[in-house]
Every structure is written in C-alpha cells, then in structure tokens.
Homo-oligomer: A and B are copies of this chain.
Amino acid sequence: MISSKRTPTINDVATRAGVSKKTVSRVINSSPMLKPQTREKVEKVIAELGYVPNPQARALALRRNFVLGLLYDNPNAQTILNFQQGVLDAIRDTEFALVVRPVDRHSPDMLDDIRDFLEKQRPAGVMILPPISENDAIAELCLEQGCGYVRMGSAEFDEPHRLVESNDGEAVGWAVDHLVEQGHRRIALIEGPEGFRSALERRRGFLEGLDRHGIAHDPGLVAKGAYTFESGKAAARALFDRDPRPTAIFACNDEMAAGALHVASERGIAVPRDLSLIGFDDSPTAAHMWPPLTTVSWPITRMANAAAMKLIAPATPEAKPFKFDSSLVQRSSVAPPQKP
C-alpha cells in the first residue's frame, strides 16, 4: 500500500504497475516504442494514484527549466497585462510557467538585476518588451547565460527568430491619412522620448505620411514627449501656444494623448470640434476618455502569443520574423477642422 499522505512519485507508479521507472517515464513522455498494452496499464495506475510528474526533478534531469521570463519596464499596465495574457494562452496545457520580472531602465544596475534573475531562475527563455527590448546589452547577457530570448519591437534590431515585430511606422501613416482625409493640414506630433526605437519609427511614419500628402514638415509642430501623461500635457501646452494652432495632433501614445486632452479641457479647446486628436496603444482608457479617443491598436496579445511559441517550440532555423499589423480604431476624437 502506497502512503496516502505523500504525493506519489514515478517509483510508486512503477512498482504498482509492475514495470520499471523508465517505462513510466516513457509513458509520460509518450515515447513511440511501447506496447499499447503496457502503456494502458501504466496510464491506469497514473490515473488511480493521481500521479503528476515533479517539474523540479524534470528540470534537474533535463538541465532545462520550464519557465518563461517576462522582462519589462513599461508604464502602461494594460499593455503588460495583455502581454501576459497572450503568453499564458500560449503556455496553457504545457508545463511552462510564466515568471515576471519588472526592471528599472533608469537604474544603473539594471543589467546586474537581470543577470541575477537569469542566474537564479534559469528560464528556458525570456521575452523582452519595449523599450528595454532595444537594449542590445540585455540580449548579449541572455546569450552569455545560455538563455533564449525574443525581443518585441517596432524595427528589425535582431535576427528574425529572436524578434516579434509590429509595424508602428506604417500604422502612424494610416493615422495621418485619416486626418488628411478629414481635411486637416496643420497636423502636430507629440513625440516619444529620444532613444526609443518605437518613438523613432512612429515619427518616421508621421513624417512620411505628411510627405505622401504633399504637406511640408513644420518643425514647430513637433513637440517632444516622454510617453508619460505629464509630458503629454507639457507638449500640448507648447503646441497650443502656437499661432495658428494645429487643427490636429497625433500623440505617440494614449497617455500623452490623455495629457493633451487634459490641457485642451483646461483651455476650453473642444475636442474634436476645435482640435482632432489621435493616440497610440488603444489602452482601455482610450475608450473611457471624453471624447472617446481614436487611436492605433497594437496587437500586443497576439505578439505575446507568438513570442511564447517561439520560445517553447524548438527553434526552426529558417523561421521567418513575425510581424503583426496595427490598425486604426476610430472613435470620436477626430472631426473635420473648423473653417477659419
């Protein structure tokens, strides 16, 4: 009789089924060469005992830890959570677990932090979110630690099989198209912070969009931001102080768009009557603002899913880069400009 207090091990199953440990192991790992009859017998005992393989022991024997790490430093909670959801969908019904690790990109020992994480958890792979995904030192660190990784980003800054890409620039172009179609010509940009690849890409998409419609680039209509609410407010103030005022603003994320909306409310500038506004991210609050914000939706959950799959599946060498399309979701913050 097996002790009922202890959780059953592979040995318990083996003795009870009258086979060897290795045979049980073969059943668990669904090895092809097994007499169906033996397999059934073992499977029956597994069910009886409620045996579940111990992942720690597996990890030790396989020299592989069934853990996926998520590395991020992102102020946008919903983005992180959506990403987590995508990963969790991918690892459902696998033995993988998701362990999260926020880091501080402004801290001098961010790299030590990450190294510490990799050494302690030894994840099978990590997924790195923007903006720190653009940091090559982190990628090198992973390589050095023998840890797989996938970087999420808006440009090709790594080998295809280590990258899941979004087409930020293109999507921003569509936003510009939409504004121009409504009749806007004096369109301002609230940029993301310097050094962010995504900010660069979005800016590029914006300028190319303007160019496509034969609109000259006015440097005075570009305001620096930092992807934060406050920076959006500051940028909007600068923009609103200009004369003539822009009739439309594209903000490089929803949070800055929210800041701009805030300042517009303060100054009695009605959106969309006096000003059209488009954001980027389609964060949940975008729909909750007044007016509901037109914004670029980023397929973060599907990207996360793809990233996790890449890490779980044996890396196909000729794997193509995954690239996901963003899209413009139209709500109520855009209207034709007022005739002067």
Q: Is the pair B97, A98 in contact by a Cβ cutoff of 8 Å?
A: no
Tell me, in angstroms, the Cα distance from A229 to B283 when the chains sit together. Answer: 14
Q: CB-nearest residue of chain B relative to A50? A: B119
CB of A56 within 8 A of CB of B52, answer no
Q: Which of A125-133, A256-264, A309-317 contacts B (4 or more CB under 8 A)?
A: A256-264
Query: Chain A contact residues: over half helix, strand or loop, or mixed?
Result: helix
Smallest CB separation, A226 vs chain B (Å) = 15
By CB atoms of chain B within 10 A, which of A59, A77, A255, A290 has the most? A77
* In the bound complex, CA of A81 to CA of B290 (Å): 25
**Inside 8 A of A100's CB, which chain B residues have their CB?**
84, 88, 98-100
> How many of these chains are in the complex?
2
Closest to A292 in B: B262
CB distance from A221 to the nearest CB of B (A): 24
Whole-angstrom distance between the alpha carbons of A101 and B265 in the complex?
Answer: 40
The CA of A51 and the CA of B44, in the complex, are separated in Å by 43
- Closest Cβ–Cβ distance, residue A263 to chain B (whole Å): 10
Interface of chain A residues 37 through 91 with chain B (CB within 8 A): 52, 54-57, 59-60, 65, 67, 77-78, 80-81, 84-85, 88
Residues of B within 8 A of A259 (CB): 288
Q: Could you pull out 28 A-B pairs where Cβ atoms are within 8 angstroms?
A: A54-B60, A54-B122, A55-B122, A56-B56, A56-B59, A60-B60, A67-B99, A77-B77, A77-B80, A77-B81, A78-B78, A84-B100, A84-B102, A88-B100, A88-B101, A88-B102, A95-B120, A97-B120, A97-B121, A99-B100, A100-B100, A229-B284, A229-B287, A258-B285, A259-B288, A265-B291, A285-B288, A290-B290
Q: Which residues of B contact A78 (CB under 8 A)?
A: 77-78
Q: Which residue of B lies closest to A233 (CB)?
A: B288
Given contacts A77-B284, A80-B77, A229-B288, contact A55 B85 (CB under 8 A): no
The chain B residue sitting closest to A103, CB to CB, is B88
Interface-centre pick from A84, A146, A288, A291 (highest chain B CB count, 10 A)? A288
Q: Which of A263-285 contact B (CB under 8 A)?
A: 265, 284-285
Closest 7 pairs between A and B when the two form their complex, measured CB to CB = A77-B77, A265-B290, A77-B81, A56-B59, A52-B119, A77-B78, A97-B99
When distances are taken between beta carbons in the complex, the residues of chain B under 8 Å from A54 are: 60, 122
Contact B284 A261 (CB under 8 A): no
How far is B56's CA from A119's CA once the two chains are assembled, in angstroms?
12
**Residues of chain B lying within 8 A (CB to CB) of residue A229:** 284, 287-288
Chain B residues positioned under 8 Å from A287 (CB to CB): 229
Contact residues in B for A122 (Cβ distance below 8 Å): 54-56
A114 to chain B, nearest CB (A): 13
